[in-house]
Amino acid sequence: MTTDLRTPVAAPPAAASRQVRWWRSGACSLPEVRWAAAAAALFAVGGIAQLAGAPSWLWWALYLTCYAAGGWEPGLAGLRALRERTLDVDLLMVAAAIGAAAIGQVFDGALLIVIFATSGALEAVATKRTEDSVRGLLDLAPERATRLTEAEDEEVVPTADLKVGDVIVVRPGERIGADGQVVSGAGDVNQATITGESLPVDKRPGDEVFAGTLNGLGVLRVRVTRPAADTVIARIVAMVEQAGATKACAQLFIEKIEQRYSLAMVAATLAVFVLPLAWGVPLQEALVRAMTFMIVASPCAVVLATMPPLLAAIATAGRNGVLVKSAVVLEHLATVTQVAFDKTGTLTEGRPHLAALRPLPAASVGADADALLALAAAAEDGSEHPLGRAVVRAALDKGLIWTGADSFEAVPGSGVRARVHGRLVEIGRPAPSPQDDPQERKTTAATQAAPDDDGGYGAVVTELEDAGHSAVIMKLDGIPVAVLGLADRVRPDAAAAIAHTGALTLTAPMLLTGDNPRAAARVAAATGIRATDVRAGLLPEHKVAAVRELHDSGARVALVGDGVNDAPALASAHIGIAMGRAGSDLALDTADAVITRDELAAVPAVIALARRARRLVVANLVIAATFIAVLVAWDLLGELPLPLGVAGHEGSTVIVGLNGLRLLRQAAWRRAAATATTRKPS
């Protein structure tokens, strides 16, 4: 059968296409993952064949192939380390696995190979995801921008070609191409990616804007103040990469002593083999004694003493909504002494809600609060602004019914104007402060009321703004009738999580936010954070500086955040924890742990679980060290039979393994949560 090459070939289904892309660019694109998967599969098939009573040559062949698949890379890395006159535990583990096979314990050696190959694969995946997210962050800034020429003509140019002093035009719905200053126009800009503010910010001439932020309504002309390589987005990328490189050298405690232990074990094994030969002991007897020593002294039990409790705790945390990315992360979680929280999207829900509606004296013309809210919802129904959606959502929650507006107009940088039942409804910001240039405000006067207009809303606006709300004026036929206060809503479990975290760490939690001081103070008061522990108005580099300042004072800081602006601080912190449901891709990949269910109560619970896992690791290390010391002493000072040495070695491995796996029970999470809830400061 032949194929006509001129016949078009059908494109692969979407699912198959996604699988191909995942294989080429996802986790399976990493050789560490493919070799680890192959080793695990061969080990599983070999174990099944052994249990099923298959011929020994079959499962031996499968196990030895597992050795080759999972052990060649660490073995090669160990040999390269030898060329640099260092000895690492990877080569030691391969040697111990080969030694186990030499005395018939091929299953144990294969298990050790699989553990090490899987650990290396997980580390490679985590590194790749972080690198991909850092590169993807640059996509926030558009590749092209509209620049004005000297003749006031427009030209589209790459953003990398923009120079300081250039003026660019940003239309509604476009991302701003460079850091700069507004020279004309008005609009609202969503800059949550940079500052973390939950509400769009009104931008007028003289205001600063950032590359990668999203322009809402209105056309802005922006004078570039920083080159592309020095924008806030570019600095975020640089800070994440720098902090990631600094944290990359973090290791488990057991890995920190591997060099000395490896050298000591190799030297001791050689001595146990060579010295008896010098004393006239037969070669076979000396070799058996040396092999026995290598088996009983190998750190298999020590490795298993460390990993099972940590892996079990990671699995238990995962079942309860916390993704801990590695054993190193869990170990570091156990040492946290202070927790700092971001505000927007972390302690709050990350979207505005209608917090108050205050009717004014002029509203006594037959309009109560619900009637005013229905009119406001009718006017805002056609708006795409987050504040407008919050008003509509509040009316729906109250079950109010309204008819559509006869006309609708959105005024950039100001608000909306609509005609409902023949009456003109205007909703907009309060009047600008006296220091603003009136010439730049003349286009917004139609929807903004001055404080001295009849209606007397100035005191109400001040009261709401002092409480951390964003105040909006509602006018009916030109008369101010109500002030609407909008704010981001604090999560219901935030106050309890703050209290439990402080009790667990014995240090008061902090609030680090890019939002304004009044909004930060409101959230702090609602969650029980002391005013002295609040730092507001922070750009990403300021958050990093705050974290480093805490580190310099001796604290081991866990930072909880969710946005792109939190990523550098998440990477710089001792432990970074991201809120998973609404978190940015960069924050999720930069963080060491992710709260997948957005439950703040999981923060103190996972810290308590990590501390329990650390206690089990210490207990297991004591058990493993005791077994090793006894068996080594027996082998050196007496006649330790090889089967008994293997049994003792495997017995210690089983004991510490089962002890660590206790954390797999659901009761372990309940106990950790209870500890976080009931512990009191000393």
Backbone angles phi, psi at 469, to 5 degrees: -95, 160
CA 87 to chain CA mean position, Å: 34
Catalytic residue positions, numbered:
342
**Rg, C-alpha atoms of the chain:** 32
Strands 220-224 and 180-184, bridge-based pairing: antiparallel
Q: Is 211 exposed, middle or buried (0-12, 13-18, 19+ CB in 10 A)?
A: buried
Put the strands of the sheet holding 407-411 in their side by side order.
348-359, 479-490, 470-476, 423-428, 415-420, 407-411
Could you tell me which of 147, 107, 475, 101 has the C-alpha nearest to residue 294? 101
Strands 348-359 and 338-341, bridge-based pairing: unpaired
Q: How far is CA 38 from CA 50, 90, 308, in A?
A: 18, 18, 22
Could you write out the three-class secondary structure of 525-543?
Answer: HHHCCCHHHEECCCCHHHH
Neighbouring-strand partners of residue 111: none
Token pair in block for residue 244: 């990631």
Rounded distance between C-alpha atoms, residue 611 and residue 334, angstroms: 4
Could you tell me which of 139, 131, 69 has the C-alpha nearest to residue 97? 69
Could you tell me which of 29, 116, 123 has the C-alpha nearest to residue 70? 116
CB 662 within 8 A of CB 313: no
Instruction: Based on DSSP, count helices (H) and strands (E) in the chain, helices before strands.
Output: 23, 22
Q: How far is CA 244 from CA 255, 299, 590, in A?
A: 19, 30, 8
Backbone angles phi, psi at 273, to 5 degrees: -85, -45
Backbone angles phi, psi at 457, to 5 degrees: -90, -5
Rounded distance between C-alpha atoms, residue 525 and residue 149, angstroms: 51
- Helix crossing, 666-678 with 602-637: angle to 10°? 120
Rounded distance between C-alpha atoms, residue 47 and residue 620, angstroms: 26
